[in-house]
Amino acid sequence: MATLTLIQAVNDALRTAMKNDPNVLVFGEDVGPKGGVFLATEGLTKEFGEKRCFDTPLSEDGIVGAAIGMAVNGLKPVAEIQFQDFIFPAFDQIVSEAAKLRYRSGGQYTCPMVIRTPYGGGIRGGLYHSQSGEAYFCHTPGLKVVVPSTPHDAKGLLLASIQDPDPVLFLEPKALYRSVKGEVPEGNYTVDLSTLRTVREGKDVTVICYGAMVPVCERAAARAAERGIECHIVDLRTLYPLDEDGVLEAAKRTGRVVVVHEAPRFCGYGGEISALIAENIIEYIEAPIARVTGFDTPFPNTLEHHYMPDERRVLDAIEHVAAY
Amino acid sequence: MTSTAPRTVIQPDGAAKPRDVGLSDKELIHAYRTMLRVRAFDETCLKLQRSGRIGFSIPNRGVEATQVGAAAALKKTDWLFPSYRDFGMALYHGISAEAMMHNMYGDALDSAKGRQMPVHFSFTDPIRFFSISSPIGTHIVQAVGAAYAMQYRKEKHVVLASFGDGGTSSLGFHSGLNFAGVWKAPVIFLCQNNQWAISCPSEKQTASDGYAVKAEAYGMPGVLVDGNDLLAVHQAVSEAAERARKGGGPTLIEARTFRMGGHSTSDDPTKYVPKAMVAEWEKKDPVARFEKFLKKRKLWTEKQREQWYAEAMAEVDAASKAAQATPRPALETIFSDVYATLPAHLRRQGQQAFDIAKRHGEAEAGDGAFPL
Ligand SMILES: Cc1ncc(C[n+]2csc(CCOP(=O)(O)OP(=O)(O)O)c2C)c(N)n1
Ligand SMILES: [Mg+2]
């Protein structure tokens, strides 16, 4: 097994998929000779040629629309949107088209395709290179939304997404691209798109998180442990459709729940998790469910470290629900 | 790339054709000194980025004449819908290097309150330099709306929307030109074709013969101009502005130029830009070209250049020192300006952010009690 960064694992997954299936194509802005602005597609044009990994004109609507057409006609497109913040010109293609095609055609037409895109803050990218837009997409039946947090999962989840029969939005936590490393198996393997991952076992407080917030929660849990609070952390991995049983099971373990995400709070993903728990297992819950999230403002630049949930804010919430 | 040759004014020997270039000696010198100030600002920002004082910058070398030539054709009552590479448009119209530097540092005196990345300027004075957004092309159609407002009020002003070759693939470009054509809106579309959209060359951006030809399909004149010839750009934009002021509608201008540096400080252009191409365009340096013209008009000497460049550097240096000495924006700026009045939930969240910062000893002078 090789030790890879998360971005190297993404690159490895793309290479593996392209080797295994000649119908897999990779395209987007600057993904060709440059290898992508984060180097996710580095070396792929050289290895597989310009017909399989290539640059498109600067149009996200074009990228996703063309991907849908390719997918309905037998290809396996893996499109890159350079930053998730720039996906909105393609919102119509994703929400009105890709997500609804199977349903509206009575199952006659389908578009198995993947849209990969880096999301989240931590690079001083200001309003438009930092956003976490998962909630917009998790409100879209027909679409799958996947967010890895480790190199192992990044590769296995991306390969599973490429092999999936439905359209998948694959959100890559750019803050983790080079900051996490881990062992990654060689060749083809998949990580199931319907189960969460238990990151850490504990009996006192359940912390529910995903993507870039996973290492933040792990650090907060380590500090909580020093104060005698044992956290149970789960990484959701696939946000939609959600492993609801897994979430309820994790929440029941401790009866005290903290939900963490970087995106704004209002109508954010955490609201759905809280409602799920409150609706189904309220009798097991011993403290108000706490959400630690970005503020309900656009994403700032200079003060981004005050905006993004950090381990202190998560720790505050853990201590609060533990003491309740 | 194109069969048609771009319009030029400055001839190889430095003479101008036509002789009347439509700018006074004073304006010519102001335009020249603005290009030197763009260079000084650009070079300083690249150094500041390398030394870690600012996070990011956008190289301007090679495209100065397009920006300054276009700006020189506008009045202070006109509006600019610029792109992030338009340092020269701001400086020409009297926006100070210091105001721009506060944006590069994202400090408390930044007109955008440190919320945006560097080079995402926003100014209202002394010219409307519209707030820059990162998503490419969104402003092109907004410019048409602003122009419609001028038309509606029977003002004789114009709007200039500036964007790159890559920007022509955006939805905003196509809606913008279509709307402007139908409305005969007083807007000038300036496509700065610097041949690259990050690493994507023009031949992968469009199959048409350059960008000016796209005008025809939207029912407006299209003009291809040499973007390294300040006077040619000025002439084309002036003509378009005059037509627009008289109710003649929009124009698409393609200024053909070349981005001599990387796309940004995060980019390594040696990975994809052919060396020969850089060498070829190095010879067409827009500043050297304008100097040749000024020299022929007896408005320029080497010694003058040195003095003016030193002055430009001193100005930018002072701007950078001022920005460096300015504190970060106050915490309240995360929460203000989301709405005209602060809603209750943001007041609560702001108080929470402030309490956390205070508890961890991170509130800074100027934060005081959460004031909103
Ligand atoms: C909608 C959108 N997609 C992608 C990007 C990322 N991006 C930033 S600049 C750029 C290239 C722009 O090229 P061009 O329009 O030619 O302008 P130039 O930088 O050359 O002046 C890209 C792809 C973006 N900012 N917005
Ligand atoms: Mg360009």
Catalytic residue from among B50, B272, B347, B348: B272
CB of A124 within 8 Å of a chain B CB? The answer is yes
- Sorted by sequence, the CB contacts under 8 Å of residue B337 that are 6+ apart come out as B113
- Sorted by sequence, the CB contacts under 8 Å of residue B73 that are 6+ apart come out as B233, B234, B237, B238, B240, B241
Each domain of chain A, given as residue ranges in start order, spans 2-184, 197-323
- DSSP E strands in chain A: the ranges are 2-5, 24-28, 53-55, 76-80, 114-119, 144-146, 168-173, 181-184, 197-200, 205-209, 231-235, 238-240, 257-264, 290-294
Q: Is the CB of B134 under 6 A from ligand 1?
A: yes
Residue from B175, B173, B209, B216 nearest B191 by CA:
B173
**Is residue B137 within 8 Å of residue B145, measured between CB atoms?**
no
**Is residue B170 within 8 Å of residue B208, measured between CB atoms?**
no
CA distance A243 to A251: 13
Ligand in closest contact with the CA of A57? 1
Count A/B contacts: CB-CB distance under 8 Å: 121
H-assigned helices in chain B: 25-50, 64-71, 87-92, 97-105, 138-152, 171-183, 202-205, 214-217, 230-245, 275-282, 286-296, 302-324, 344-359
Is the pLDDT at B363 greater than 80? The verdict is no
Q: Is the CB of B197 under 6 A from ligand 1?
A: yes
- Sorted by sequence, the CB contacts under 8 Å of residue B355 that are 6+ apart come out as B370
Catalytic residue from among B259, B297, B339, B359: B259
Q: Please name the residue that has the structure tokens 């990779």.
A: A26
Record: contact B200-A29, CB cut-off 8 A: yes
To the nearest whole angstrom, how far is the Cα of A194 from the nearest Cα of chain B?
33
**Is residue B120 within 8 Å of residue B90, measured between CB atoms?**
no
Question: Between B171, B329, B334, which is nearest A307 by CB?
Answer: B334
Backbone φ and ψ for A79, nearest 5 degrees, come out as -90, 145
CB of A102 within 8 Å of a chain B CB? The answer is no
Which DSSP helix (H) or strand (E) runs through A47?
helix A44-48
DSSP-assigned letters across all residues of B119-162? T---B-SSSEEPPP-SSTTHHHHHHHHHHHHHHHTT----EEEE
Which DSSP helix (H) or strand (E) runs through B192?
strand B187-193
pLDDT at B4: 82
Query: What is the number of residues in chain B?
Result: 372
Residue of A nearest to B328 (CA): A302
CATH of domain A2-184: 3.40.50.970
pLDDT bracket for residue B359 (50, 70, 90): confident
B18-24 contacts at long range (C-beta below 8 A, 24 or more positions apart): B21/B231, B21/B234, B21/B235, B22/B234, B22/B235, B22/B238, B23/B72, B23/B231, B23/B234
**Is residue B331 within 8 Å of residue B354, measured between CB atoms?**
yes
Cβ neighbours, 10 Å, residue B59: 21
| B25-324 CATH fold | Rossmann fold (3.40.50)
Which DSSP helix (H) or strand (E) runs through A135?
helix A134-138
Q: Is the CB of A82 under 6 A from ligand 1?
A: yes
Is the pLDDT at B79 greater than 70? The verdict is yes
Mean pLDDT computed over B150-168: 98
To the nearest whole angstrom, how far is the Cα of A303 from the nearest Cα of chain B?
7
Residues of A in contact with B200 (CB under 8 A): 29-30, 55, 57-58
**Is residue B42 within 8 Å of residue B60, measured between CB atoms?**
yes
CA distance A76 to A132: 26
3-state secondary structure (DSSP) of residue B60: coil
3-state secondary structure (DSSP) of residue A79: strand
Same fold yes or no, A2-184 and A197-323: yes
Residues in chain A with pLDDT values less than 70: none
Which tens digit of pLDDT belongs to each residue from A73-108? 999 999 999 999 999 999 999 999 999 999 999 999
pLDDT at A183: 98
Backbone φ and ψ for B19, nearest 5 degrees, come out as -65, -40
Pairing of strands B251-256, A257-264: unpaired
CB of A43 within 8 Å of a chain B CB? The answer is no
A289: left (phi over 0), alpha (psi -120 to 50) or beta: beta
CB of A295 within 8 Å of a chain B CB? The answer is yes
Is the pLDDT at B367 greater than 70? The verdict is no
CA distance A246 to B11: 74
Question: In angstroms, what is the span from residue B170 Cα to ligand 2's centroid?
Answer: 13
| A197-323 CATH fold | Rossmann fold (3.40.50)
**Is residue B67 within 8 Å of residue B38, measured between CB atoms?**
yes
pLDDT bracket for residue B360 (50, 70, 90): confident
Give residue A2's Cα distance to chain centre: 23
The number of the ligand 1 atom at minimal distance from the alpha carbon of B83 is: 21
CB of B97 within 8 Å of a chain A CB? The answer is no
Catalytic residue from among A129, A152, A232, A261: A129
pLDDT at B357: 87
To the nearest whole angstrom, how far is the Cα of A296 from the nearest Cα of chain B?
7
Pairing of strands B251-256, B222-226: parallel
Report B:175-214 residues touching A (Cβ under 8 A). 197-200, 204-206
To the nearest whole angstrom, how far is the Cα of B10 from the nearest Cα of chain A?
33
Q: Please name the residue that has the structure tokens 């319009």.
A: B7
Residue from A245, A151, A158 nearest A193 by CA:
A158
Question: In angstroms, what is the span from residue A170 Cα to ligand 1's centroid?
Answer: 22
Record: contact B135-A126, CB cut-off 8 A: no
- Angstrom distances, CA of residue A4 to CA of A94, A123, A178, A183: 31, 21, 9, 6
Residue of B nearest to A42 (CA): B271
Query: Radius of gyration over alpha carbons of chain A, in Å?
Result: 19
ipTM for the predicted complex comes to 0.95
Burial of A188 (0-12, 13-18, 19+ CB in 10 A): middle
Ligand in closest contact with the CA of B256? 2
Which tens digit of pLDDT belongs to each residue from A132-179? 999 999 999 999 999 999 999 999 999 999 999 999 999 999 999 999
- Sorted by sequence, the CB contacts under 8 Å of residue A257 that are 6+ apart come out as A205, A206, A207, A208, A251, A273, A274, A277, A285, A287, A289, A290, A321
pLDDT at B358: 86
Residue from A137, A15, A141, A34 nearest A78 by CA:
A15
Backbone φ and ψ for B79, nearest 5 degrees, come out as -115, 145
Is B263 part of the annotated catalytic residue set? yes
Mean pLDDT computed over B167-195: 98
CB of B342 within 8 Å of a chain A CB? The answer is no
Which DSSP helix (H) or strand (E) runs through A251?
helix A244-254
DSSP-derived secondary structure letter, B16: B
Question: Which residues pair with residue B225 across a beta bridge?
Answer: B7, B255
Question: In angstroms, what is the span from residue B256 Cα to ligand 2's centroid?
Answer: 10
Question: Which residues pair with residue A172 across a beta bridge?
Answer: A118
pLDDT bracket for residue B361 (50, 70, 90): confident
Ligand in closest contact with the CA of A117? 1
- Angstrom distances, CA of residue A73 to CA of A53, A160, B176: 18, 20, 33
Residues of A in contact with B56 (CB under 8 A): 124
Q: Is the CB of B85 under 6 A from ligand 1?
A: yes
Cβ neighbours, 10 Å, residue A167: 28
Residue of minimum CA distance from atom 21 in ligand 1: B164
Candidates B136, B173, B337: best to mutate against A (most CBs of A within 10 A) is B136
The number of the ligand 1 atom at minimal distance from the alpha carbon of B165 is: 16
Which tens digit of pLDDT belongs to each residue from B250-292? 999 999 999 999 999 999 999 999 999 999 999 999 999 999 9
B7: left (phi over 0), alpha (psi -120 to 50) or beta: beta
pLDDT at B364: 64
pLDDT at B3: 61
Look at the alpha carbons of B144, B146, B147, B148 in this order and tell me if their dihedral is positive or negative: positive
Please give the mean pLDDT across all residues of chain B.
96
Q: What share of chain A is helix, strand, coil (3-state, %, to 5)?
A: 40, 20, 40
pLDDT at B362: 73
H-assigned helices in A170-243: 213-226
Which tens digit of pLDDT belongs to each residue from B111-137? 999 999 999 999 999 999 999 999 999
Is A129 part of the annotated catalytic residue set? yes
Candidates B272, B339, B364: best to mutate against A (most CBs of A within 10 A) is B272
Each domain of chain B, given as residue ranges in start order, spans 25-324, 331-365
Mutation pick for ligand 1 pocket among B116, B198, B199 (CB with most ligand atoms within 8 Å): B198
CA distance A266 to A251: 22
Question: In angstroms, what is the span from residue A129 Cα to ligand 1's centroid?
Answer: 12
